[in-house]
Structure 1
Amino acid sequence: MDWHVEARRTLRAELVRRGVSVEELSIRLAHFGVKESPQSLAVKISRGRFQLAFFLQCMAVIGGGTVTITLPPAHSG
């Protein structure tokens, strides 16, 4: 399981669900005090390597008051 892929898919899905582009996300985050260019956001999201705090900031600015994340089952052994 590649957790970075799951993080990327989750954030991208929420952006699409709410009709928010990366450019719009950059503008909204700037109003929230997070300065990231659309290009740097696109790279960060495509890598899927971001902190939970960043994910929560994104959800706050795109109106994601409730987010359901479905995780794959854990494999033991």
Structure 2
Amino acid sequence: MVERTDWEAKARGIVRGEMARQGVTYSQLVEKLAELGISEDERNLRNKVSRGKFTAAFLLQCLAALGGDQVKF
């Protein structure tokens, strides 16, 4: 059985991977999220992504902000 932390690591990896692929910093992601009407500060964003504990909705918001159209895991 897959541990919960394995799924959290995958979620974290998806966001970090897309950020790295596009060369987007946390500060830039905060700005991109704000363009979608999502209020987030850089410190909180870093913590969420670092822990990998966030909702599926937040994952989709990040991917939309980053312009991601495919998810591989």
What is the TM-score with the length of structure 2 in the denominator? 0.86
Moved over 2 A (4+): none
Q: Which has the larger radius of gyration?
A: 1
Aligned-residue offset at 1:40? 0.4
Deviations 1:13-62 (CA, angstroms, capped at 9, x unpaired): 11101111110000110110110001100000000001111111111111
The alignment covers a number of residue pairs equal to: 69
Greater relative contact order structure (CA < 8 Å, 6+ sep): 2
Identical aligned residues as a percent: 42
Instruction: Give distance in 1, aligned partners of 2:25 and 2:51.
Output: 17
How do 1:1-77 residues align onto structure 2 when only pairs under 5 Å count? 1=3, 2-69=6-73
Output the aligned Cα RMSD: 1.0
Structure 1: runs of 5 or more not aligned: 70-77
Does the CA-based 8 Å contact 2:26-2:45 persist in structure 1?
Answer: yes
What is the TM-score with the length of structure 1 in the denominator? 0.82
